[in-house]
Amino acid sequence: MDFTFDDEQQALREAVRGLVGKRYGDYETRRRTVAGEPGFDEELWQRLAEMGVLGLPFAEEDGGVGAGPVEVGIVAEELGRVLAPEPYVAAVVLAGGLAAELGTPEQRSALIGPLAAGETLLTFAHAEAGSRWQPTAQAVRAERDGDGWRLTGTKEPVPHGVRADQLLVSAALPDGGTGLFWVTGDAEGLSRTTSRTIDGGRSARVDLERCPAQPLGAGGDATAAIERALHATRVAAGNQAVGTMESALRITAGYLTSRKQFGVTLNTFQALTFRAADLYVALELTKSLVGWATMVEAEDPDSLADAATRASLQVCRAGRLIGQEAIQLHGGIGMTAEYAIGAHTAHLVALEQWLGTGSHHLGALAVTVADHAEVDPIR
Amino acid sequence: MDFTFDDEQQALREAVRGLVGKRYGDYETRRRTVAGEPGFDEELWQRLAEMGVLGLPFAEEDGGVGAGPVEVGIVAEELGRVLAPEPYVAAVVLAGGLAAELGTPEQRSALIGPLAAGETLLTFAHAEAGSRWQPTAQAVRAERDGDGWRLTGTKEPVPHGVRADQLLVSAALPDGGTGLFWVTGDAEGLSRTTSRTIDGGRSARVDLERCPAQPLGAGGDATAAIERALHATRVAAGNQAVGTMESALRITAGYLTSRKQFGVTLNTFQALTFRAADLYVALELTKSLVGWATMVEAEDPDSLADAATRASLQVCRAGRLIGQEAIQLHGGIGMTAEYAIGAHTAHLVALEQWLGTGSHHLGALAVTVADHAEVDPIR
Amino acid sequence: MQLKLSAEDAAFREELRTFFTTQVPAEIREAVLARRELTKDQFVQSQRILNAAGYAVPHWPVEWGGRNWTELQRHLWHEEMQRAGVPAPLAFNASMVGPVIAAFGSQEIKERFLPATANLDIWWSQGFSEPDAGSDLASLRTTAVRDGDHFVVNGQKTWTTLGQYGDWIFCLVRTDAEVRKQAGISFLLIDMTSPGLEVRPIELIDGGHEVNEVWFTDVRVPAENLVGELNKGWDYAKFLLGNERVGVAPVGATKRVLAEAKKWAAEVGQLDDPLTAARIAELENDLLALELTAVRVAANSADGKPHPASSVLKLRGTELQQAVSELALDLAGPAGLSCFAGEGALAPEWSRRSTPVYLNLRKASIYGGSNEVQRQIIARTILGL
Amino acid sequence: MQLKLSAEDAAFREELRTFFTTQVPAEIREAVLARRELTKDQFVQSQRILNAAGYAVPHWPVEWGGRNWTELQRHLWHEEMQRAGVPAPLAFNASMVGPVIAAFGSQEIKERFLPATANLDIWWSQGFSEPDAGSDLASLRTTAVRDGDHFVVNGQKTWTTLGQYGDWIFCLVRTDAEVRKQAGISFLLIDMTSPGLEVRPIELIDGGHEVNEVWFTDVRVPAENLVGELNKGWDYAKFLLGNERVGVAPVGATKRVLAEAKKWAAEVGQLDDPLTAARIAELENDLLALELTAVRVAANSADGKPHPASSVLKLRGTELQQAVSELALDLAGPAGLSCFAGEGALAPEWSRRSTPVYLNLRKASIYGGSNEVQRQIIARTILGL
């Protein structure tokens, strides 16, 4: 087992860090960007496409680069570090991953090439009222209409659901199971309303009223593929969260050494520095587990569900701790939108809301606890 | 609602504190006492009897004083404060309480008067291999033998089960239910082995082989009475634990202000004093909940089970926190048997083992959480 | 030791419960229960109803509207109010500047301000914290220089909660820069419509506008607006902050949210999840212990000075307030992403509110004496460390 | 980034697993798994088996028995050993005095001591802490005064773990009282049979005898027993303590106890209790994160110096070790009261051991650099605070 990155991976990290750091290194720019629509920087998105980053996980024949989860994780971590609001994980990893896995060659070439080129923004409309991260759909139903299909019902929340040019939509099939469909942004019967998430992201309510849709690939039950894609997304989002947490800790440590109270800098107060030390511990543990899950996804895909759940639990635990303590250690300034730290906390919350809280992941692990004698990470 | 003690209660506290403080104020005396048999000071036990303390909860016609849970709580807290090893709660509150509730007038006069006078030590033999604080018996079985009864099976652990002169023993009845029987210390078929508990107390394995026994009172299923008695015992033990925790915090704070490291006393280190502050918070919360449960037992006995469970959960949570942190804040010296602090931690552990851990009490509360809109302590 | 309320206190409690749930408009109480932000009018309307019935400032001196209640009665009043979703009388008025004026102000200042303060005819803002004076409040730098029969005030205050509604602001200002920092501070009342006074909003991380900066540029304040003696302001501030801590443990409100959270848990099918049930049970027990401690501490502070254990209430009260908001966040799950979607979203209001409320309540352990300050007080004052 | 072990490392791991589970007597490994205290003979027997196979001191220089393994291989060795219940080579020998002698000792001292140290022919004790020098080790007061070709040692050491078995003790002694406290310390090897040296047991709160006081009264120590240079002992101690921390995170042993605890939970009918299952699942995940961090850190410390993150391993490792012991305590329930009842009790051995082990492991966060010291190192060295 080896946690070190090779030179090419290192170069990728530096290229991405350079690009997004230049754009969002000044937090005020990030704040301005998320205040306007579509909530991210279209130009930066193009630059990421040019850099090949949007095509990383896809096969070359589909218009991608043929890299893997480790490279995706590097990109996600660097985006997380500066709270870049670009929908990389949602569009490329989740929606793109589903298109790549299930799509016919024609669908793949229609969706993935343009996605990788930054021409088409893709999203996966899946969550529904009352759903809690399960891989199935109930509220949106698919019905046959001649040779084609129509979807009816409401999806909410859908990441960047209004800006998206193309949507993949999960829907309950007439004979049971959950199918996956491609709905174009201009389809009849499709209406969409956007709103801000707590971290400045975008989420939509998507209403479908007998909306024409094309099954992805051969059609049929896609539950297992959806579940796999959600787990791969958790791994990528875990990398993104690591970047955010590392940044939060760096900012907090910097604040402790510069802010004065009672005539001395805050790092004079041992009760505060010890808590910062505990944050570092949490961060290191999270890096290890997320790194491992990323390698599991790359080399031992059968264990992806277990590894992604384990990494997510740790990410959620550390995210709460670091998110809460980073604000507390700042004091009042940590509560203000002008200052960067609170947005880190908010972003960690939004990631959990999207992909599952610690309680959710722990519940999943608890039911399997009697199935194994011990957890052995070494393969 | 009023948490203040009246003058008489205050006087009782001072009298008990004076007596046990004189005896165990020097920790070395306590250590010597628990090293020898029977593990407590028989002379002090007599002095407690003379003071009327052993008869506190019993009716005057049974040879008691006719006081209530508040007075019992005061005594228990003062015993806990100096880690007095005398089996007050086990003999007087638990075993005595059962005899008083279920016994016939003859049984009460045979058991309670001598118990209150310090002539007879009574214990309740109830726990069995594999039992986890439930009010029923399974391993020890009662069978009819002519007009009488015989008991067979093993009880373990039994508090002060070897020193006890008389035993109350729970046993599975032939027709179902759990009966409560009186077994004399010299009964045939009774054999007992003693051992030390972690806090210097005494616990026994009690084997019964067709051991003659007399039903307490009218006989029949005593499960409800046993459950009530266990809850009343939890309230008294909660008071005892409060005394122990208060003492642990006092000792720890004293150590922090006197022990020097790096040329300064330990209370110079904010990380340590803040943790001590958290212990104080836990202690104050526990005092409130235990005091309330004591009043509930006195004035609203129908709510005893709920109040005792709630108080126990808080006692266990605070006991773990204070017990662990008190040692940690001491450092190495806290690990030694010569120094008092570790014995406080050990005593808090032993109380949980006897009457239920936090996990146990939380489990009981969790199943009732949907039964009420809120918890309103004000009657 | 006495569990049961006296007949008198039981009747008192019942009377309050009836009043709060019938006399304060349901619309206001529902907004509180839904954890919405209240409008200024709702605050004012509610407080005037309370004041008319003698329920706005019961802890003030009797001649200014106080009721001479026992500490237990004050506790019952506070709890029943929160339980019913009645907004507490504005703390800046009822718990802060009012008691200071009543205790230290001249008869003239009392007559001028106390009735209007009790009735929320004047909305007070608090001008204590400054950018470089947070937990270390005494290092404040806003100055007030005597010029004839006025003070001329210059400087900046921050974290002024609801300052956008303020009519007047009570400020700590430096009136003597030559002495040790606590000794040169005075307590001054300033009309917020004065020329040179500017209120600027601060956006918080939950997207709300709840606090402000207040800038003073050569603001002229009549000298008679000084409360008490010149350079004694630090004593008055300590008196005030002591009061603040007692009121700050939001036991009843947190209990109410937890009771709501059980309904939410049932709604999303989580109430029979054993982990969720255990978490709720533990929170209920923690809140019970806190509530009982509040009663116990109230009873021990009859001389009007805060019991040192009131730091326990602030510290633990905010911890539990935050823990319950975290429970709500977890129950809301993915629906929390729709936090700013408004009524157009399918997600119910409670789940949309869960995200901003969770973030907003991070402030609870920072404002009004941070939890670090409370630990310091406990360690020093109570444990002698 | 590479998940899978290389074929070579996989074979290496398999070889170790086979060796440990077949060559070390089952009786010893069972005692470890049952969390019993081992006898001196069991320690010695096990270490000699390891040493004969080259598995006792693989991290030493090759000429003294080292194996030049990669850090990952060392990690696998350590984990497999703990997993099989093989007692780790005595830390005082293998991780403490051995590496110090190998790095700083003269050739003569190396030849004299290293082979016997590796083979546990000499049982070493550690003489660092003193009653007034705990976390503040440098303020130690035991003196060594030169007298001809001897040092004369006076003073007292404490917390000497297993000192009752010790043949020799390596000590930090003050050889120059005139300089700054870190500068006047030397590293001295002392034969424990020397006249004037006395070992007195300290009873611990779990009732066990694991640590000792060691008293020195005019103990004469040949000058050639000095390791390295006079007054450089503090440097050697820092070198040693750095090594100590790396070995101290007991990942494999804690995993093994947790795996046992699942069996115990099933035995007492608690494994299907959802709260217990969740608690175990969370501990498994915490341990997984720790184990992976150990691998990650091992790989980053190839220059032989401890990675600063090794403080993370010590801190978190002891927290989890204690948390698992607390789980066992809770699973044992009332049976834990029979802790000293021996085999005559009905309660199974694991439940009887649970109480003293829980109390005993309170030491884990105190000894070997307390968790407060580790937090200090992290805050200062890594975070720059």
CATH number of the domain located at residue range(s) B7-120 in this protein: 1.10.540.10
pLDDT band of residue C249 (cuts 50, 70, 90) is confident
Amino acid at B74: I
Is A292 in Cβ contact with D292 (below 8 Å)? yes
How many interface pairs between C and D have CB atoms less than 8 angstroms apart?
A: 6
In this structure, are residues C186 and C233 in contact, taking their beta carbons and an 8 Å threshold?
A: yes
pLDDT of A376 over the 80 cut: yes
**CA-nearest residue of chain A to D290?**
A285
**CA-nearest residue of chain B to A268?**
B270
pLDDT given for residue D298 in this prediction: 72
The pLDDT of C1-15, averaged and rounded, is: 95
Please give the Cα distance from B305 to A84 (Å, whole number): 55
DSSP D133: B
Please give the Cα distance from A174 to C116 (Å, whole number): 68
Contacts of C272 in chain B (CB under 8 A): 370
Active site residues of C: 244
DSSP A69-83: HHHHHHHHHHHHHTT
Residue ranges per domain, chain B? Answer: 7-120, 123-221, 224-371
Chain A 202-261, residues with CB within 8 Å of chain D CB atoms: 249, 253, 256-257
Q: What is residue D235's three-state secondary structure?
A: helix
DSSP B340: S
pLDDT of A163 over the 90 cut: yes
Chain-wide mean pLDDT for chain A? Answer: 97
How crowded is residue C344: how many other Cβ atoms within 10 Å of its Cβ?
A: 10
Token duo for residue D261: 């605890």
**CA-nearest residue of chain C to B2?**
C2
Please give the Cα distance from B243 to D6 (Å, whole number): 59
Strand A166-172 and strand A122-125: the pairing is parallel
Place of tokens 């009690």: B206
pLDDT given for residue D134 in this prediction: 79
Distance from CA of D293 to the nearest CA of A (A): 5
Distance from CA of B327 to the nearest CA of D (A): 7
In this structure, are residues D127 and D198 in contact, taking their beta carbons and an 8 Å threshold?
A: no
pLDDT given for residue D307 in this prediction: 65
pLDDT given for residue C291 in this prediction: 94
Distance from CA of C107 to the nearest CA of A (A): 37
Is A366 in Cβ contact with D383 (below 8 Å)? no
pLDDT given for residue C181 in this prediction: 85
Q: What contacts B179, CB < 8 A, 6 or more positions away?
A: B142, B149, B170, B171, B172, B173, B215, B219, B220, B221, B222
The pLDDT of A45-57, averaged and rounded, is: 97
Active site residues of D: 244
pLDDT of A77 over the 60 cut: yes
Token duo for residue A69: 């989860």
Distance from CA of B270 to the nearest CA of A (A): 5
Please give the Cα distance from B229 to B248 (Å, whole number): 28
Contacts of A367 in chain D (CB under 8 A): 277
Closest partner CB to A196 (pick from C134, C322, C340): C340
How do residues D182-200 score in pLDDT, each as one tens digit?
999 999 999 999 999 999 9
Is D281 in Cβ contact with A362 (below 8 Å)? yes
Torsion of CA A211, A215, A216, A217, to 10 degrees: -160
pLDDT given for residue D31 in this prediction: 95
Distance from CA of A164 to the nearest CA of B (A): 43
Place of tokens 């997993």: D83
How crowded is residue D66: how many other Cβ atoms within 10 Å of its Cβ?
A: 17
Closest partner CB to C271 (pick from B289, B313, B370): B370
Token duo for residue D36: 């019993």
In this structure, are residues C331 and C261 in contact, taking their beta carbons and an 8 Å threshold?
A: yes
DSSP D146: E
pLDDT given for residue C133 in this prediction: 84
How many interface pairs between B and C have CB atoms less than 8 angstroms apart?
A: 152
How crowded is residue B7: how many other Cβ atoms within 10 Å of its Cβ?
A: 7
pLDDT given for residue B1 in this prediction: 87
Contacts of C379 in chain B (CB under 8 A): 267, 273-274, 276-277
How many interface pairs between B and D have CB atoms less than 8 angstroms apart?
A: 146
Contacts of C380 in chain B (CB under 8 A): 273
Please give the Cα distance from B185 to B166 (Å, whole number): 5
Which of B263-267, B311-315, C138-142, C371-375 is modeled with the greatest confidence? B311-315
pLDDT of B70 over the 70 cut: yes
pLDDT given for residue D92 in this prediction: 95
How do residues A220-263 score in pLDDT, each as one tens digit?
999 999 999 999 999 999 999 999 999 999 999 999 999 988 88
Closest partner CB to B133 (pick from D334, D346, D367): D334
Please give the Cα distance from A223 to A172 (Å, whole number): 10
Please give the Cα distance from D37 to D25 (Å, whole number): 16
Chain C 257-286, residues with CB within 8 Å of chain D CB atoms: 274-275, 278
B8 touches C: beta carbon within 8 Å? no
The pLDDT of A292-300, averaged and rounded, is: 98
Q: What is residue D288's three-state secondary structure?
A: helix
pLDDT of D291 over the 60 cut: yes
Please give the Cα distance from D74 to D81 (Å, whole number): 11
Contacts of A274 in chain B (CB under 8 A): 271
pLDDT of A91 over the 80 cut: yes
Distance from CA of B19 to the nearest CA of C (A): 24
Is A363 in Cβ contact with C158 (below 8 Å)? no
pLDDT band of residue D244 (cuts 50, 70, 90) is low
pLDDT band of residue C248 (cuts 50, 70, 90) is low
B327 touches D: beta carbon within 8 Å? yes
In a 13 Å sphere around the CA of A139, the CA atoms on its Cβ side amount to 18
The pLDDT of C278-294, averaged and rounded, is: 97
Q: What contacts D253, CB < 8 A, 6 or more positions away?
A: D82, D321
Please give the Cα distance from C325 to C362 (Å, whole number): 10
B274 touches C: beta carbon within 8 Å? yes
**CA-nearest residue of chain D to A297?**
D3
Closest partner CB to A363 (pick from C275, C347, C358): C275
DSSP A235-270: HHHHHHHHHHHHHHHHHHHHHHHH-EETTEEGGG-H
Sign of the Cα torsion D241, D242, D248, D249 reads: positive
Burial of C267 (0-12, 13-18, 19+ CB in 10 A): middle
Please give the Cα distance from B256 to B328 (Å, whole number): 11
Contacts of A72 in chain D (CB under 8 A): none
pLDDT of D249 over the 80 cut: no
**CA-nearest residue of chain B to C293?**
B288
Contacts of A205 in chain C (CB under 8 A): 338, 341, 344-346
The pLDDT of C194-216, averaged and rounded, is: 95
**CA-nearest residue of chain C to D274?**
C274
pLDDT of A69 over the 70 cut: yes
pLDDT band of residue C369 (cuts 50, 70, 90) is confident
Is A131 in Cβ contact with C362 (below 8 Å)? no
Distance from CA of D300 to the nearest CA of C (A): 37
Is A4 in Cβ contact with D1 (below 8 Å)? yes
Distance from CA of A131 to the nearest CA of D (A): 22
pLDDT band of residue A89 (cuts 50, 70, 90) is very high
pLDDT band of residue C302 (cuts 50, 70, 90) is very low
Contacts of D272 in chain C (CB under 8 A): none
How do residues D328-374 score in pLDDT, each as one tens digit?
999 999 999 999 999 999 999 999 999 999 999 999 999 888 999 99
Please give the Cα distance from A379 to D1 (Å, whole number): 13
Residue B118, sorted as left (phi over 0), alpha (psi -120 to 50) or beta, turns out to be left
Amino acid at A283: L
The pLDDT of A301-328, averaged and rounded, is: 98
DSSP B332: G
Contacts of D274 in chain C (CB under 8 A): 274-275
The pLDDT of C24-41, averaged and rounded, is: 94
Q: What are phi and psi of A124, to 5 degrees?
A: -110, 115
Is C312 in Cβ contact with B288 (below 8 Å)? no
Fold of domain A123-221: Butyryl-CoA Dehydrogenase, subunit A; domain 2 (2.40.110)
B270 touches A: beta carbon within 8 Å? yes
The pLDDT of D37-50, averaged and rounded, is: 96
pLDDT band of residue C250 (cuts 50, 70, 90) is confident
In this structure, are residues C355 and C336 in contact, taking their beta carbons and an 8 Å threshold?
A: yes
Please give the Cα distance from A358 to A318 (Å, whole number): 10
Strand D124-127 and strand D197-203: the pairing is unpaired
pLDDT given for residue D310 in this prediction: 81
Burial C207-232 (b: 16+ CB within 10 A, else e): bbebbbbbbbeebebeeebbbbebbb
Of chain C, the percentage scoring pLDDT greater than 90 comes to: 84
Please give the Cα distance from A259 to C135 (Å, whole number): 12
In this structure, are residues D166 and D124 in contact, taking their beta carbons and an 8 Å threshold?
A: yes
Please give the Cα distance from A180 to A171 (Å, whole number): 6
Structural domains for chain C: 7-89 (no CATH), 124-231 (2.40.110.10), 248-382 (1.20.140.10)
ipTM score of complex? 0.96
Neighbours of chain D (3+ CB pairs under 8 A): A, B, C
pLDDT given for residue D302 in this prediction: 47
How do residues A187-216 score in pLDDT, each as one tens digit?
999 999 999 999 999 999 999 999 999 999
The pLDDT of B186-203, averaged and rounded, is: 97
How do residues B141-163 score in pLDDT, each as one tens digit?
999 999 999 999 999 999 999 99
Amino acid at D331: L
In this structure, are residues A159 and A203 in contact, taking their beta carbons and an 8 Å threshold?
A: yes
How do residues B319-340 score in pLDDT, each as one tens digit?
999 999 999 999 999 999 999 9
pLDDT of C246 over the 60 cut: no
The CATH class of A224-371 is mainly alpha
In this structure, are residues C119 and C51 in contact, taking their beta carbons and an 8 Å threshold?
A: yes
Angle at A308 between CA A306 and CA A309, to 5 degrees: 65
pLDDT given for residue C243 in this prediction: 67
Angle at A218 between CA A212 and CA A219, to 5 degrees: 50
Contacts of D136 in chain B (CB under 8 A): 261-263
Radius of gyration of chain B, Cα coordinates, nearest whole angstrom: 21
How crowded is residue C178: how many other Cβ atoms within 10 Å of its Cβ?
A: 6
Strand C226-227 and strand D168-174: the pairing is unpaired
Please give the Cα distance from A296 to A238 (Å, whole number): 14
DSSP B162-173: TT-SEEEEEEE-
Torsion of CA C247, C249, C255, C258, to 10 degrees: 130
Please give the Cα distance from A104 to B72 (Å, whole number): 79
pLDDT given for residue C305 in this prediction: 55
In a 13 Å sphere around the CA of C212, the CA atoms on its Cβ side amount to 18
The pLDDT of C213-233, averaged and rounded, is: 97
In a 13 Å sphere around the CA of A191, the CA atoms on its Cβ side amount to 7
Q: What is the pTM of this model?
A: 0.96
Q: What is residue D270's three-state secondary structure?
A: coil
Is A357 in Cβ contact with C337 (below 8 Å)? no
Radius of gyration of chain A, Cα coordinates, nearest whole angstrom: 21
pLDDT of B65 over the 70 cut: yes
Q: What is residue D178's three-state secondary structure?
A: coil
B357 touches C: beta carbon within 8 Å? no
